[in-house]
């Protein structure tokens, strides 16, 4: 399998190089040159597999022969041994809803599914070629801690995570800053997640700096993130459909950076019978507006909501979708991104807009509706939703049988949950005692210069 850039500026590369490159060196995102196609017999056979066995099958065509099968299997086993649920990502039924619980990993959010694997993958590839990696990532709350837990204490890796100061939940902040391993560096920046993400991308686009400091990516710009997240769509479909390829399943996906829902889109492009794929946004509804109008238009500001991990305007994986929507025409992708840069908006033609509406449904859910959904689900079943999950459940209210992705444990968002139902969710052991622990974090401006200066002072010389 080879990987190309959405902007057409790199020669095809293999899986390991794609994982290490993170953002493509022409500023685009890496995508597979072709999407493997599954037949009905394969879907049926995969539907009974354990999560780990399934992950091996889903990943194999994308990895190619770059990692021996036994090694890939060992990486997968090690990555999901840290999950507390034997099924890794179980589907449960509560009231009329199906919930795909993605929060049984070490940091209680769906990011663990990909970042436990990516951490082990990085360590494996670095040990193999004897090199080092300095990871730089941005977080609106969950990627940061999941990435940190994926690589803490690992040889050959340093990790620098930028989070927007005061815009992540107190638990999320402490999950990151209480990790005191010497290779972990937390940075609080003024501004929004979009500001942090912009700085990270600008460091990756500074190719001499990226190469001298061996920068690596943990955000969903890294193809391995998308790939690993694709597995649970297959898993959930198998559990719900019983493996009957004539039984499509719908999914509702709380969306911010468009990585998770893009993983679902990839699964469907591979042949997974997905009926509706719902983009569920909060008040930051640029993607919902795009699905409804065909126009992707940036608003003047990012709104702070009760689902803070989705307080994002510039959804980085949207570029991957634009690429597929335009059948891999990189010139068109570049032209559209040029429009976005110059005018703050881009639009697709009517035929493509119709395709967007065939690919996705979308709904924006307000904070009052989010609270109302947490309340209603609790009243009807005693189940507590996190505010992000509540956005997804609300967006799917007219889709009976839809699988709603539960992207975080509700105990991570105590204030919102208490506001809704007058009590907090009992925390899993991994979230206990965080507020009392020692923490470490520096505060810096959200500028490339400030972050580069910090990296240079910590790393002293390029490693």
Ligand X SMILES: N[C@@H](CCOP(=O)(O)O)C(=O)O
Span near ligand X by CB under 6 A; candidates 4-12, 133-141, 261-269, 447-455 = 133-141
Which CB sits closer to ligand PLP, 222 or 241? 222
Q: Which does 139 bind (CB under 5 to 8 A by kind): ligand PLP, ligand X, none?
A: ligand X
For residues 292 and 300, give the distance between their C-alpha atoms in angstroms, rounded to a whole number: 20
Q: Which does 258 bind (CB under 5 to 8 A by kind): ligand PLP, ligand X, none?
A: ligand PLP
Q: How far is the CB of 379 from ligand X (least distance, A)?
A: 28
Which CB sits closer to ligand PLP, 203 or 314? 314
Q: Which two tokens stand for residue 119?
A: 């951490």
Give the count of residues interacting with ligand X (CB under 6 A): 13
Q: Which does 15 bind (CB under 5 to 8 A by kind): ligand X, ligand PLP, none?
A: none
Q: How far is the CB of 41 from ligand PLP (least distance, A)?
A: 31
Q: How far is the CB of 222 from ligand X (least distance, A)?
A: 8
Which CB sits closer to ligand PLP, 241 or 282? 282
- Active-site residue numbers? 111
Q: Which does 27 bind (CB under 5 to 8 A by kind): ligand X, ligand PLP, none?
A: none
Neighbours of 264 (CB within 10 A): 25
Enumerate residues 6+ apart whose C-beta is below 8 A from 346. Answer: 295, 296, 336, 337, 339, 340
Q: Which does 241 bind (CB under 5 to 8 A by kind): ligand PLP, ligand X, none?
A: none
Which CB sits closer to ligand X, 38 or 173? 173
Site string for ligand X, 273-302 (x = CB under 6 A): ------------------------------
- With binding defined as CB under 6 A, does residue 309 bind ligand X? yes
- SS3 track for the chain: CCEEECCCCCCCECHHHHHHHCECCCCCEEEECCCCCCCHHHHHHHCCCCHHHHHHHHHHHHHCCCCCHHHHHHHHHHHHCCCCCCCCCCEEEECCEEEEECCCCCCCECHHHHHHHHHHHHHHHHHHHCCCEEEEEECCCHHHHHHHHHHCCCCCEEEEEEEECCCCCHHHHHHHHCCCCCCEEEEEECCCHHHHHHHHHHHHHCHHHHHHCCEECCCCCCHHHHHHHHHHHHHHHHHHHCCCCCCCEEEEEECCCCHHHHHHHHHHHHCCCEEEEEEEECCCCHHHHHHHHCEEECCCCCCCCCCHHHCCCCCCCHHHHHHHHCCCCHHHHHHHHHHHHHHCEEECCHHHHHHHHHHCEEEECCHHHHHHHHHHHHHHHCCCCCHHHHHHHHHCCCCCCCEEEECECHHHHHHHHHHHHCCCCCCCHHHCCHHHCCCCCEEECCCHHHHHHHHHHHHCCCC
Cβ(35)–Cβ(271) below 8 Å: no
Cβ(30)–Cβ(18) below 8 Å: yes
Q: How far is the CB of 92 from ligand X (least distance, A)?
A: 23
For residues 299 and 282, give the distance between their C-alpha atoms in angstroms, rounded to a whole number: 14
Q: How far is the CB of 172 from ligand X (least distance, A)?
A: 8
Residues 227-266 close enough to bind ligand X by CB under 6 A: 256-257, 259
Which CB sits closer to ligand PLP, 287 or 336? 287
Q: How far is the CB of 270 from ligand PLP (least distance, A)?
A: 18
Residues 203-222 close enough to bind ligand X by CB under 6 A: 219-220
For residues 40 and 435, give the distance between their C-alpha atoms in angstroms, rounded to a whole number: 50
Residue numbers at the binding site for ligand PLP (CB under 6 A): 109, 141-142, 220, 254-261, 309-310, 388, 407-408
Q: Which does 255 bind (CB under 5 to 8 A by kind): ligand PLP, ligand X, none?
A: ligand PLP
Which CB sits closer to ligand X, 142 or 285? 142
Q: How far is the CB of 308 from ligand PLP (least distance, A)?
A: 8
Beta strand 295-297 pairing with 403-406: unpaired
Q: How far is the CB of 240 from ligand X (least distance, A)?
A: 25
Q: Which two tokens stand for residue 22?
A: 């993170």
Residues 134-173 close enough to bind ligand X by CB under 6 A: 139-144
Site string for ligand X, 30-69 (x = CB under 6 A): ----------------------------------------
| Closest to 84 measured CA to CA, from 116, 120, 48, 118 | 116
Instruction: Candidates 316, 370, 389, 430: give the one binding ligand X (CB under 6 A).
Output: 316
Q: Which does 254 bind (CB under 5 to 8 A by kind): ligand X, ligand PLP, none?
A: ligand PLP
Which CB sits closer to ligand X, 158 or 175? 175
Which CB sits closer to ligand X, 51 or 110? 110
Sole residue written with tokens 């597995």: 231
Q: How far is the CB of 354 from ligand X (least distance, A)?
A: 28
Q: Which does 219 bind (CB under 5 to 8 A by kind): ligand PLP, ligand X, none?
A: ligand X
Which CB sits closer to ligand PLP, 38 or 390? 390
Interface positions with ligand X (CB under 6 A)? 139-144, 219-220, 256-257, 259, 309, 316
């Amino acid at each position: 399998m080879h990987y190309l850039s959405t902007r057409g500026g790199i020669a095809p590369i293999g899986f390991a190089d794609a994982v290490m490159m993170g953002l493509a060196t022409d500023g685009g995102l890496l995508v597979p040159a072709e999407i493997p196609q599954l037949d009905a017999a394969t879907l049926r056979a995969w539907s009974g597999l354990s999560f780990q066995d399934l992950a091996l099958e889903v990943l194999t065509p994308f990895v190619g022969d770059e990692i021996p099968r036994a090694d890939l299997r060992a990486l997968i086993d090690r990555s999901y041994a840290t999950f507390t649920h034997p099924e890794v990502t179980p589907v449960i039924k509560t009231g009329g809803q199906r919930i795909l619980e993605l929060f049984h990993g070490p940091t209680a959010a769906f990011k663990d599914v990909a970042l436990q694997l990516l951490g082990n993958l990085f360590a494996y590839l670095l040990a193999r070629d004897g090199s080092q990696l300095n990871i730089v990532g941005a977080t609106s709350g969950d990627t940061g801690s999941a990435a940190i837990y994926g690589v803490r204490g690992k040889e050959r890796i340093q990790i620098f995570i930028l989070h927007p100061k005061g815009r992540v939940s107190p638990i999320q902040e402490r999950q990151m800053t209480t990790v005191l391993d010497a290779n972990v560096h937390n940075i609080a920046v003024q501004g929004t997640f979009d500001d942090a993400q912009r700085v990270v991308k600008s460091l990756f686009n500074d190719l001499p700096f990226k190469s001298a400091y061996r920068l690596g990516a943990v955000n969903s710009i890294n193809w391995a993130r998308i790939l690993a997240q694709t597995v649970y769509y297959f898993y959930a479909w198998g559990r719900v459909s019983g493996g009957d390829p004539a039984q499509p399943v719908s999914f509702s996906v709380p969306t911010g950076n468009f990585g998770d829902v893009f993983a679902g889109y990839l699964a469907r492009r591979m042949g997974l019978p997905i009926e509706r794929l719902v983009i569920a946004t909060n008040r930051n509804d640029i993607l919902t507006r795009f699905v409804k109008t065909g126009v992707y238009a940036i608003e003047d500001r990012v709104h702070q909501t009760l689902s803070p991990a989705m307080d994002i305007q510039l959804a980085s994986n949207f570029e991957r979708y634009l690429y597929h929507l335009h059948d891999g025409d990189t010139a068109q992708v570049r032209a559209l991104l040029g429009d976005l840069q110059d005018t703050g908006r881009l639009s697709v033609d009517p035929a493509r807009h119709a395709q967007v509406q065939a690919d996705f449904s979308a709904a924006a859910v307000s904070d009052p509706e989010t609270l109302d959904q947490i309340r209603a689900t609790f009243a009807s079943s005693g189940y507590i939703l996190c505010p992000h999950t509540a956005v997804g459940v609300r967006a799917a209210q007219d889709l009976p049988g839809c699988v709603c992705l539960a992207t975080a444990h509700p105990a991570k968002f105590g204030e919102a949950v208490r506001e809704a139902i007058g009590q907090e969710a009992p925390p899993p052991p991994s979230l206990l005692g965080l507020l009392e622990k020692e923490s470490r974090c520096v505060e810096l401006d959200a500028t490339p210069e400030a972050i580069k200066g910090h990296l240079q002072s910590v790393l002293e010389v390029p490693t």
